[in-house]
Amino acid sequence: MRELFFDCGRGISGDMTLGALVDLGVPFGELEQTLSLLPLRGYRLGCSTVHSGGITGTKVTVQLIPSHPDNQRERRYPELLAMIESSTLPPEVIRRAARMLTIQAQASAAAHRILVEAVAFHERGAVDTVVDLVGAAFCLYRLSPDRIRSTPLTDGKGSLLCRCGRIPVPVPAVREITARYALKTRSCDYCGELVTPTGASIAAGCFDAFSDQVPDSFVRRGAGFGDRNREQGGYLLCYLREISDH
């Protein structure tokens, strides 16, 4: 049995997940080609090697082209869902990406007390969210694990400033997701966000079980870096394991 194990001891986000799964062995060119099947333009996907905190890993970046029409307006959840479901992506990728997007939209709707159909993803948020969720769904499809486990999601504390004003950490959408899907969590003393709504959506839509212990044996290890939280490490570790059924 092939197991994919996420170590979320330093948080989880969409870009960290993509970086870790590419670092684990998913060819970046295949990820880029798959994302090009979506009717979404106005961005460039980048991939680089990062060394930080004694760890070497991969950083996948989404760079917006500000002048492109795709980046001039917000997009609502039904439009993004239709974009994914009407694409020529493999059916399993469509199913998983649509589920994760719905999880995130429903959490945002509950947090803001609005209908899920009214949930809007603002400019960069729309591009980032679709790229991260479809990209994660493709990487998991490419790796084809029989089971996905994780350590508890570790988040910081305090508050952060966003378009809506100052909000507490964990942010409301993350609180909604972890409560709805009974995700195992823990907190640390870092003042700031470690688990993003996209990261929590990936966990809720993909993880099968949780374990407090990181595996001590594995076939390959991948590390994915994000843009923030370098004081806490700023990376996600993933392990690919082959486990005997006996």
- Tell me what pLDDT residue 16 has: 96
- Tell me what pLDDT residue 221 has: 97
Contacts of residue 95, Cβ cutoff 8 Å, sequence gap at least 6 = none
Find out whether 209 and 4 touch, Cβ atoms under 8 Å: no
- Tell me what pLDDT residue 77 has: 96
Using the 8-state DSSP alphabet, how is residue 214 labeled? Answer: -
Find how far residue 173's CA is from the centre of its chain: 14
Low-confidence ranges of the chain (pLDDT < 50): none
- Tell me what pLDDT residue 245 has: 66
pLDDT per residue over 35-71, tens digit each? Answer: 999 998 889 999 999 998 789 999 999 998 888 887 7
Q: What phi and psi values does residue 203 have, to the nearest 5 degrees?
A: -60, -50
- Tell me what pLDDT residue 125 has: 79
The three-class DSSP label of residue 238 is: strand
Q: How far apart, in whole angstroms, are the C-alpha atoms of residue 80 and residue 77?
A: 5
The three-class DSSP label of residue 139 is: helix
CA angle 37, 43, 47 (to 5 degrees): 90
Q: What phi and psi values does residue 141 have, to the nearest 5 degrees?
A: -60, -40
- Tell me what pLDDT residue 233 has: 64
The three-class DSSP label of residue 93 is: helix
Q: How far apart, in whole angstroms, are the C-alpha atoms of residue 90 and residue 27?
A: 17
- Tell me what pLDDT residue 12 has: 96
